[in-house]
Amino acid sequence: MARPNTNRTKSPGGDERLFFPESGFPHGIQLIFKKYDYSGLILGTGAEGNKKGKKSQFTSAEETGLLAVELPMPSTLTDATGLQVNGFERTFLESFIADTLAPAFEGSFSDIGKELMALGEAGMKGAIDTVFGDKAKNAAQGKAAGQASRIASFMASNALNSFSPGLGKAMGASRGTAINPQATLSFEGVNLRTFSFDWTLYPESGKEAEDIKKIIRSIKRNILPGIQDVTGGKGVAAEATTLSGNTLARAFLEYPAVVSINLLGIDESYFLRFKPCMVDSFNVDYGASGEIVIAEGGVPQGIKLSMSFKELEIQTAGDYEGDDL
């Protein structure tokens, strides 16, 4: 895949493009930081509507600024997919209802009710027989009474495990049996993907040292939130209001930029693809070689940048359909 076109249309807030090294590189990574104006969502008026004196009922956040940073390929590039699969144990009642309801959904709920009532009647009779020793009154009732007694005993053991685990286990030990916990797995979702990138940058000129400084400051300016006062004033305007110095002047934090990540100069079909992200952390180490070395002009000899990203939405199977075509 060829390098993406960097001659983008200017956004309302103006574009800024920074890159390192100055000489360029055949393969790299592009981070596009996009900031949005959410006031239209809150007030019901978009920026264009405000300019024209019109109000719109449905609006969307509008892009107000864009920063593109191009760097060499990071030292590592890992695509880790995490699924939320957790184990749990089912009680007897939960297992019984699940096993009964699953096939019964094809029939009527009245049939389910009849089965539950029949089990309840058998269980009650078996429980009375077990407690009072009054077994079957005749041979015809013997088999049914024995089955009901075993069911009642099983249900009683489960009940004891719920209210008094020690007693339930003691009764089981006396019979040489233990209640099957019916352990199984449940799928509960997909984790948001996270990425961590590292770059070690050594400037070869004063211009490149200045470029690194601009990249660091511009990234921090985009990934950190602005402030907003209760009247809607933002940034410097919020600080300059009569509320300055009051907590009302810093009542809200604005959302930081959303980041789009592109790999440059590669065949995309062989690499991972990114969804929009937000920056989770950004670290700057001014001693890239393990110690701080000052170069000519008082600038760091080398700087190590570390960034962590988290995607805004999960992956699904549809994201990978058609990849083999």
- Residue pLDDT, tens place only, 115-147: 656 666 665 566 556 555 554 445 445 555 556
d(CA 56, CA 59): 7
Q: What is the pLDDT of residue 293?
A: 94
Contact, 274 vs 31, CB < 8 A? no
**φ, ψ (nearest 5 deg) of residue 293:** -120, 125
> Which is higher by pLDDT, 18 or 248?
18
pLDDT at 259 over 70: yes
- Report DSSP state, residue 9: P
For residue 249, what pLDDT band results from cuts at 50, 70 and 90?
A: confident
pLDDT at 223 over 70: yes
Q: What is the pLDDT of residue 247?
A: 74
* Per-residue pLDDT reduced to its tens digit, 31-87: 999 988 776 655 444 444 455 555 545 456 777 779 999 999 999 999 999 999 999
**φ, ψ (nearest 5 deg) of residue 266:** -130, 170
Q: What is the pLDDT of residue 101?
A: 61
d(CA 103, CA 108): 10
